Structure 1
């Protein structure tokens, strides 16, 4: 079985695929201070509950936008599952060209989304990922990654508004029925939600104008269903896009071998 680890700025998602289907998916808050043993104890309990033993894990793949977390996630794979993880980066075989000025600077999650989206929906398309940042990533008809746009995620915007304006409270995210708020909190909710809908529609329109033809728009990330309610721009919602990108990447690349002297190798990292 394949252990998939998707490390975002807010959450780490662990999932297991048996070659046919996902056997389980679990989330943990991202923390660069968490040790490999903490991950291991937590994950082993969840695997046992799902009827999976550690020895059934024969491969692992990691995608991360948090470099500080990689060290202990690697140790988790080596010490608890006896596998060397494949780590997503621009130098691997993606099966498509990365047509940007500095490929090494592109977040692994953006390339993984491009890989899975083209595999499932075919380009040309744009993936909108609602995470800590909201990213727009353009994929050509042949699957090539063309770049995109990055904007602050909605939770960051809400927190910044609360922190910078003393009289404005922290609010939750939801779709208001009315655009015109008749008190402070409804006005904030309207501006946040419908403002983001305006950002989404405006950027998608400008991206299509620059690309020169219409594009399929695929929404992913935890808040994708909420924002898809407010616009007709999206062709599909796919919450597992990044996870499936990791699975597909592992199929395209050979698993790296375990280091001969794991203790010395770990200390050298």
Structure 2
């Protein structure tokens, strides 16, 4: 099995189209088709279902895709490790992050990284914490800054960045604005503004209310912080968010959320196992003043 066969396979799987994949890879369509056929012959099974408009993965193709992506990421990491030993850090840093993550100023961190390592191409992707964890574990991201969604595994480990309590944000004219603090029971029946279920703040809030036995309904769901704050600013609902969000819109009222036990918003750097961590990811973590032992 040749690496180029795996590269061609992954490109077709991602584009779901031979012509587009061939254009992206800068190879002929006939050459790409021959490469895929060679891989299918070696594995003795079809990898794609081909139609006139698109191609889709077979069950065997889906099984191969995750391993192929992981193998290619490890090969890339090996090339970059050799370059790093030779004193040159180059290649690509694929970084994922949630919006407004606590414990790290992503733009400032990347600016410092770029100054030190100008030959490294930086690719930044924003998504929810659950998806970011999957991308790091699969080798599609070098690391991600996100909410802790799970315990460490053989394919994913976490380095703690920050931990903070959750806060209730509401309009100054809201009935809760004069309270000293709130419990989940106090918020029963309120209209909530929140992020999509994959986001860290939403996961934290859902878990806290479930633990308190209080049912809540998210009526207004957004995918960015400023939209959430705008809706609260118009008194269309309240939100439970990490405490540092209160500084993003000074006109809103912030109340501590009590009665949630150990429910906190913990942000982490998600990384692959030490042996699979790229030199670029190590260098970025070093800029966070995080101990590199085991990184």
TM-score (norm 2): 0.23
Larger relative contact order, structure 1 or 2 (CA cutoff 8 Å, min sep 6): 2
